[in-house]
Structure 1
Amino acid sequence: MAISFDKALGIHQYTLGIRAQRAEVLSSNIANADTPNYRARDVDFNAALQSAVGKQQSMQMAATSENHFDMKSLVQENVKFRIPNQPDTGDGNTVDMQEEQQAFMQNALEYQMSLGFLGGKFSGMKKAIRGD
């Protein structure tokens, strides 16, 4: 009997990839905090997750291809400009460092949580295979 990793791992495999891509977007915002006319961006996590799960369910995985599970393209279509909470300082930059740092830390914690969930799933599968 074959093991279906998609069913065994659930959505945790998708959340890990989306959180990794969100960390890149947020770190780009932080790096460009002093860049004139830079507009802060963020990932719409729920839309990216729905897109990843929906595309995965509709894919036929019979053939081997590098593009079967392309998280980067799934996330990039769900990257949106953030609505600024502060007035423009005159240079057109919409990055709020406190908000970016808070979002980055929250995302890092959620990334660690997703890693923990995946680790638990793999641990359970190893136990099932060994018969523990």
Structure 2
Amino acid sequence: MSISIEKGLGIHPHALLARERRAEILASNIANADTPGYKARDLDFRAALQNAQNRQDFTLERSHSQHYSVTLRGQGDEKFRVPNQPDTGDGNTVDVQVERNLYLRNAMEYQASLAFLNSRISGMNKALTGR
């Protein structure tokens, strides 16, 4: 009987990828808090997780053998956030406190996914070594 590593690890590697992507977006929001006209974005986690599971990335075809291959992530799961505060006049919709809280929560959820993944790997290791 063969063991499928992908089935053994479950959804956790995909969740890590989606959490990593959300961290990038939230960090971008924080970095652009003072940029006029910048619109706060967030990630639809369910859609991102589904895309990670289905491996729905975009790969550009090379027209010449010496060109680099490029893979772009799908952007369909990124959404603009509805602002909680009135417009301050510069068109920026970033609320730094909200972004920091979301970033911290995402970091904790990333750590939880990492802990689950480590637990799965440890269990598989025990099964393979017979301990």
TM category (shorter chain) comes to 0.7 to 0.9
Q: Distance in 1 between matches of 2:2 and 2:89?
A: 60
Alignment map for 1:3-18 (pairs within 5 Å): 3-18=3-18
| Structure 1 equivalent of residue 49 of structure 2 | 49
Per residue, is there more strand in 1 or in 2? Answer: 2
Does residue 20 of the first structure (1) align with residue 13 of the second (2)? no
Does residue 39 of the first structure (1) align with residue 57 of the second (2)? no
| Structure 2 equivalent of residue 87 of structure 1 | 86
Structure 1 runs of 4+ aligned residues shifted over 6 Å read none
For residue 42 of structure 1, give the secondary structure of its aligned residue in structure 2.
strand
Q: Distance in 2 between matches of 1:17 and 1:51?
A: 10
Q: Distance in 2 between matches of 1:102 and 1:2?
A: 43
Alignment map for 1:72-111 (pairs within 5 Å): 73-74=73-74, 76-111=75-110
5+ long unaligned stretches in structure 2: 56-68
Whichever of the two has the greater Rg, that structure is 2
CA contact (8 A) 2:17 2:52 kept: no
Q: Distance in 2 between matches of 1:35 and 1:52?
A: 31
| Structure 2 equivalent of residue 122 of structure 1 | 121
Q: Distance in 1 between matches of 2:51 and 2:28?
A: 23
CA deviation after TM superposition for structure 1 residue 5, in Å: 1.6
- Scaled by the length of structure 1, the TM-score of the pair is 0.83
Query: How well do the aligned residues superpose, as a CA RMSD in angstroms?
Result: 1.8
